[in-house]
Amino acid sequence: MVSPTFEKLKPEKKDRLKRVLIEEFSNYTLDQAQVARIVKKAGISRGSFYTYFSNLYDAYHWTLTEILQNVHHFRNADPLAGTIAFIENLPHNPYYDFLDKYFQINETLLRTHAPELSPRQAIPTLEQTATDQTVRNWLAMISTHSLIQERFAFPDHADDILQSLRQLSIWIHDQES
């Protein structure tokens, strides 16, 4: 969790550090990222970095949260339609490299080394008493995340992934009728 000192930074300094963190984590995986590179590019001391963040994972988590808020801000109320639009527009997404590293490598590193910072700690359990709507929501959530991961792992299969999402969307909407 970022420190209160970080939250009180001037917007320009916070924005500069955010840009540097996005650049670092877009070019390097969590296990390759370096505080030394970050502080040099951001023009801050190593001590300041550790005043703002408890460690590199904490800085990554803050950056990931910023990006996911931005990405989810544009999502449709329908998670499947939002995911379809997200995948269709991925080549133009300014966070593509960051997200690529997240879905292919950093998500696992976070879950392994800093599970308390992982946005998705575990797959939620479906209870036997789950309603049909709860099951549909669960399927949509699991499917969208999995298919986004597949899109990053296999970019040449984007059309097949989109087709699967469209079919799932049709099936879920038919079930709701």
Residue 75 neighbours by CB under 8 Å, 6+ apart: 82, 83, 85, 86
Confidence category of residue 163, pLDDT binned at 50, 70, 90: very high
pLDDT in tens, 122-137: 677 888 999 988 888 8
Residue 24 neighbours by CB under 8 Å, 6+ apart: 33, 34, 37, 38, 41
CB under 8 Å, gap of 24 or more: what pairs does 68-74 form?
68/119, 70/95, 71/95, 71/99
Residue 49 neighbours by CB under 8 Å, 6+ apart: 35, 38, 39, 42, 59
pLDDT in tens, 28-61: 999 999 999 999 999 999 999 999 999 999 999 9
Confidence category of residue 161, pLDDT binned at 50, 70, 90: very high
Ranges of beta strands (E only) in the chain are none
- For residue 77, pLDDT over 80 is answered with no
CA dist., res. 123 & res. 47, Å (int): 37
Question: In the numeric block, which tokens belong to residue 6?
Answer: 């970080």
Closest to 54 in 3D by CA, of 17, 15, 5: 5
Q: Angle, to 10 degrees, between the axis of helix 79-88 and the axis of helix 158-176?
A: 160
pLDDT in tens, 98-115: 999 999 999 999 888 887
CA dist., res. 161 & res. 177, Å (int): 25
